[in-house]
Homo-oligomer: A and B are copies of this chain.
Amino acid sequence: MNTTGSALLTDHYELTMISAALKDGTADRQCVFEVFARRLPTGRRYGVVAGTDRLIDLIAGFRFDPAEIDFLRSAGVIDEPTATWLAGYRFTGEIEGYAEGELFFPGSPILTVSGKFAECVVLETLILSVLNHDCAIAAAAARMVTAARGRPIIEMGSRRTHEHAAVAAARAAYLAGFASTSNLAAGRAYGIPTTGTSAHAFTLLHDDEPAAFGSQVAALGKNTTLLVDTYDITQGIRNAIAVAGPDLRAVRIDSGDLSVLAQQSRELLDSLGATETKIIVSGDMDEYSIATLAAEPVDMYGAGTAVVTGSGAPTAGLVYKLVEVAGRPVVKRSENKATVGGRKTAVRRHKPTGTATEEIIVSQGVPDHQTNDRLLQRTYIAGGEPQARPTLQESRDHLRQCLISIPWEGLKLSAGDPAIPVVIIPTA
């Protein structure tokens, strides 16, 4: 979706830098840019790479059309040589990076972009927008999946975020292990299962609750979910089973003290013979409220606001930094922002048991090889051409494996240090 017309999703200064660099001859200098996070959001123990797949499609389609160039010219953003350069733009360099579903830590080089200065710098804003958003959602979603301990979670937060961000958020949440989404565009674009039955408005529309439930069951069958908290939950459940019978698939509760209500609802359903009817809870669910319900008879969660807003960390804090010019490491040297220059190679080191112990990142070199090392970077674009990539399902499986591999403390919801240490070795 939206792979065309993405060239103006770019900061003004990328183009003024290109203008100046074209004029002084530095535009063609061979450069390496790197995407990494200086730190994780406060207390988070890992980040999750997400969005790279849709980013690569956007980069492959990144073109300035004549109307866009006319706008830039008439707005005084660019001069004629820059207009000519933009009209011929296509990315011809190399992009490598961590797989989607991979974990990352402070300093992990999750994307490395190599090519001429101008062709790389013009992609900065788009690269950061996609990765900062999608990684933020995936990290929050992964914590919720851990908290749910195998119970499915439905992503239903589209209404709480920008209408197009919602589609990307549904994808990132599915990558992180959510079972399905309410978002139809995400279902179409990415093949994610979509689910949904009815809102309180549907009950209020009808003359009474049994009429609404009867209509829903007539249209969708008993393999549906009845929303039972519009008026009184106890009566709602009685109405649901009276209308649908004891083989109703599920009831949903969207308000109230969910711990108490889940227990009461389970007992009531069982007493009505609806022992197989599932209980779905929704309403301001985040990783903490999900964890709180672990011991309650809940079968499925619906999560909205918290997942699409990153549960307190709505952006991943990733930056895009120039680390190498013509083979020479470069680095900004100002207070609090010291980084290591040079193109990095990253491996994750493991015990023989498979538990990760540390991440080793070497500038302009290769880490010493040890048994149980895993190389973390793969090639996304070579000579301007996108390479074969894992499917969304494969990336989802990859994250599940990665989460199994980190020390158990890394899965705690409480605030703490990164799950494993990162060792960054500067250029010798």
Contacts and interface: CB of A to CB of B under 8 A. Distances in A.
A232 B132 CA distance: 29
Interface in A225-242: 229-233
How many copies are assembled? 2
Contacts of A309: 314-315
A198 B256 contact: no
Interface string A156-172: 10111111111110000
A13 B182 contact: yes
Interface stretch (A118-126, A293-301, A361-369, A410-418): A118-126
Contacts of A129: 158-163, 166
Interface string A374-385: 000000000000
A282 B427 CA distance: 31
Contacts of A8: 184-185, 188
A221 to B, nearest CB: 11
Nearest to A74: B188
Given A204-B322, A204-B332, A334-B233, A159 B68 contact: no
Contact of A2 (B164, B183, B230): B164
Interface string A3-15: 0011011111111
A231 B331 CA distance: 9
Contacts of A15: 184, 196
Given A16-B219, A24-B219, A166-B9, A161 B184 contact: no
A159 to B, nearest CB: 4
B165 A133 contact: yes
Given A13-B196, A215-B26, A163 B204 contact: no
Given A10-B184, A23-B215, A305-B315, A201 B165 contact: no
A149 interface: no
Interface residues on chain A, size class: 35 or more
Interface string A35-75: 00000000000000000000000100000000010011001
Contacts of A164: 2, 9, 162, 164-165
Contacts of A162: 129-130, 133, 161-162, 164-165, 168
Contacts of A11: 156, 158-159, 182-184, 196
Contacts of A168: 162
Nearest to A23: B219
A47 to B, nearest CB: 15
Interface of A: 1-2, 5-6, 8-17, 19-21, 23-24, 26, 29, 31, 33, 58, 68, 71-72, 75, 77, 79, 117, 121, 124-126, 128-130, 132-133, 156, 158-168, 182-185, 187-188, 194-202, 204-206, 215-216, 218-220, 229-233, 255-257, 305, 308-310, 314-315, 320-322, 325, 330-337
29 contacts: A1-B5, A8-B188, A9-B158, A9-B166, A10-B158, A12-B183, A13-B196, A13-B198, A13-B199, A14-B199, A20-B218, A20-B219, A21-B202, A23-B215, A33-B201, A77-B184, A125-B158, A126-B163, A128-B159, A129-B162, A130-B162, A132-B159, A132-B160, A162-B162, A162-B165, A162-B168, A231-B333, A256-B335, A256-B336
Instruction: Give 3 nearest A-B pairs by CB, closest first.
Output: A13-B196, A12-B196, A128-B159
